[in-house]
Amino acid sequence: MINITNLHKSYKMGANSLHVLKGINFEVAEGELVSIMGSSGSGKSTLLNILGMLDEADEGSYILDGVPIKGLSEKQAAKYRNKFLGFIFQSFNLISYKSALDNVALPLYYQGLPRGERMDKAMSYLEKVGLAKWSGHLPNELSGGQKQRVAIARALASDPKVLLADEPTGALDTKTSYEVMDLIQQINDEGRTILVVTHENDIAQMTKRIVNLRDGLIIEDTLVSQIRASENV
Ligand code: ADP
Ligand code: MG
Q: Is 41 in the pocket of ligand 1 (CB under 6 A)?
A: yes
Torsion angles phi and psi, residue 205, rounded to 5? -65, -15
Q: Which atom of ligand 1 is nearest to the CA of 43?
A: 6
Ligand nearest to the CA of 11: 1
48 Cβ inside 6 Å of ligand 1: no
Q: Ligand 1: distance of its center to the CA of 167 in Å?
A: 14
ipTM of the shown complex: 0.98
Q: What is the atom index within ligand 1 of the atom nearest the CA of 213?
A: 3
> Residue whose CA is closest, atom 11 of ligand 1?
41
Euclidean distance between CA atoms 183 and 127, whole angstroms: 12
Q: Say if ligand 1 is within 6 A of residue 207 CB.
A: no
**pLDDT, tens digit, 9 for 90 and up, residues 138-169:** 999 999 999 999 999 999 998 999 999 999 99
* pTM confidence score: 0.94
- Give the range among 28-32, 106-110, 127-131 with minimum mean pLDDT: 106-110
* Closest listed residue to residue 135, CA positions, set 101, 164, 89, 85: 101
Which residue's CA is the nearest one to ligand 1's atom 27?
11
| Cα–Cα distance measured from residue 139 to residue 106, given in angstroms and rounded to the nearest whole number | 14
Q: Is the CB of 68 under 6 A from ligand 1?
A: no
Model confidence pLDDT, tens digit, residues 6-35 = 999 999 988 899 999 999 999 999 999 999
The pick from 18, 40, 49 for probing ligand 1's pocket by mutation, whose C-beta has the most ligand atoms within 8 angstroms, reads 18
Relative to beta strand 59-64, strand 2-13 is antiparallel
Checking if the pLDDT of 231 tops 90, the result is: no
Nearest CA to ligand 1 atom 21: 11
